[in-house]
Structure 1
Amino acid sequence: MSHSAPTVSALTTPGLRKNGKQWHAQKSAFRPKVGQTSYEKRTAGRKAMTAMKTKERRMKDEKEDERQRRIQAIKDKRTAKEERERYEKMAEKMHAKRVERLKRKEKRNKLLKS
């Protein structure tokens, strides 16, 4: 009978522990410098992070500006509609020329206030 090479599982499995606590997880060697990165890598990472943050902030600001613009458009439309309805109500009671005069007068007052 010839001896064959040991199987792969026999090569990877460690022997029994000396203290008899085989149920504990195997510990690896303590190497404190393994997780450290170079100064250049850290600074490059920080630069990338700040660039990403500024881009995110700019995108959020653009989105918020667009939202505010839409809200303002809706508000302007509502006020114009209310004003139009008010003038229509006035036109029912008064003469058309007088309503036009009042409109012009109110516009002048609005310009003076702002």
Structure 2
Amino acid sequence: MAKTKAVAAAPLSALTRPGLRKNGKQWHAQKSAFRPKAGQTSYEKRTQERKAMAAMKAKEKEMKDEKDDERQRRIQAIKDKRAAKEEKERYEKMAEKMHRKRVERLKRREKRNKLLKS
């Protein structure tokens, strides 16, 4: 009975450990057989992957657009605030030289001109 256990254990260890290579380059990784059709997938699987990729790309684009819109909105708010500040400073400088009522009249006239131009 002891012989059968030893014989049964030998093929098992031979399967797990291949032994020495014929060319003597044991430091190289073992190569597997070349099978050109091994990595192919079915048409249905490829179409599902393409649909998933397209959905992911659309979601990414939507998120990027939202982020860019928010950024542009902030930039526009800053520009509007600066323009209002400059205009206010200009009117204050005019008010130093002219009468207050005349400055208000000029403001109204400029607003009408802006509305006509736009």
Relative to the length of structure 1, the TM-score reads: 0.86
Partner of 1:63: helix, strand, or coil? Answer: helix
Q: By how many angstroms is 1:13 displaced?
A: 1.3
Map of 2:71 onto structure 1:
67
SS in 2 for 1:26: coil
Aligned partner (choices 106, 110, 118) of residue 106 of structure 1: 110
Distance 2:15 2:101 in 1: 104
Matched residues in 1 for 2:45 and 2:97: separation?
78
SS of equivalent residue, structure 2 residue 45: helix
Q: 2:58 aligns with which of 54, 71, 86?
A: 54
Q: 1:33 & 1:10 partners in 2: Cα distance?
A: 29
Q: Which runs of 5+ in 2 are unaligned?
A: none
Query: Are 1:22 and 2:24 an aligned pair?
Result: yes
Q: Which has the higher helix share?
A: 2
Q: Does 1:89 align with 2:98?
A: no
Q: Which runs of 5+ in 1 are unaligned?
A: none
- Counterpart-to-counterpart distance in 2, 1:11 and 1:46: 41
Number of residue pairs aligned between Structure 1 and Structure 2: 111
Where 1:21 maps in the other structure, the secondary structure is coil
Pairwise CA distance, 1:28: 1.8
Look up the match of 2:84. 80
Whole-angstrom CA distance in 1 between matches of 2:42 and 2:59: 26
Identity %: 79
1:27 shift after superposition: 2.6
Secondary structure of 2:23's aligned partner: coil
State the distance in 1 between where 2:88 and 2:46 align.
Answer: 63
